[in-house]
Amino acid sequence: MPAPPVERLIQQLARLPGLGPRSARRAALHLIQRPEAALSPLLRALAEVEASVRVCGVCGNIDARDPCEICRDPERDATSICVVEQVGDLWAFERAGAYRGRYHVLGGVLSVLDGVTPEDLSIDALIRRACEPGVREVVIATNATLDGQTTAHYLADRLKPAGVAVTRLAHGMPVGGELDYLDDGTLATALRLRRPVE
């Protein structure tokens, strides 16, 4: 049996997403056996995040400043707001480097099963932002799951009075994808949303 402090560390690590008890034990051993190379840098990183990282009061991004760098950046297109479920989705867009507008992080999706209602998400704040002068488009980039779709329809409805263009990410063939490997839903949607060859 590990000593109580080690056991507590394993328990905390096992609560992290993606880490089960087995990987938590391995991670704990790795940290303990490498105090200089692994444990101390991790402690410093955790302390720094705790001390400096906050949620952006405008868009829900996490950053060392509030409003976040993206909201403050005058180079970014303030006429367009891209709605994502989680900060991780915002990071995915930033990695792709294909979007130059602003974001809005909902904090989840509507879900009957999980009891998530509009009040649990940052929806009122989104509507307020969409009504601000200068905003022309809201891109809904929720996931292509059932709850993601339901949320997109709900948002489109709520956004109507704002008088902005409401768009939705396209579904279809992934770049580099092969027909034979696509699931039925993706293939059917790609066919339904086909476009003229440019």
Query: Measuring CA to CA, which residue among 132, 125, 70 is closest to residue 101?
Result: 70
Min dist CB 78 to Zn ion, Å, is: 12
Min dist CB 57 to Zn ion, Å, is: 8
Extended beta strands in the chain, E state: 54-55, 62-63, 77-84, 101-105, 137-140, 165-168
- Smaller CB distance to Zn ion: residue 56 or 81? 56
Residues of span 50-79 touching Zn ion by CB under 5 A: 56, 58-59, 61, 67-68, 71
DSSP state of 79: E
Min dist CB 55 to Zn ion, Å, is: 9
* # residues near Zn ion by CB under 5 A: 7
Q: Interface mask (CB under 5 A) for Zn ion, residues 98-137, using x and -?
A: ----------------------------------------
- Smaller CB distance to Zn ion: residue 47 or 64? 64
SS3 137: strand
- Smaller CB distance to Zn ion: residue 27 or 135? 135
8 Å CB contact between 130 and 140: no
DSSP state of 116: B
Quote the tokens at residue 131: 């009504």
The verdict on 81 binding Zn ion (CB under 5 A) reads no
- Smaller CB distance to Zn ion: residue 56 or 135? 56
Q: What is the DSSP string of 168-195?
A: E---SPPTT--GGGS-HHHHHHHHHT--
- Smaller CB distance to Zn ion: residue 60 or 152? 60
Min dist CB 140 to Zn ion, Å, is: 18
Gap between the Cα atoms of 103 and 108, Å rounded = 14
Interface residues with Zn ion (CB under 5 A) are 56, 58-59, 61, 67-68, 71
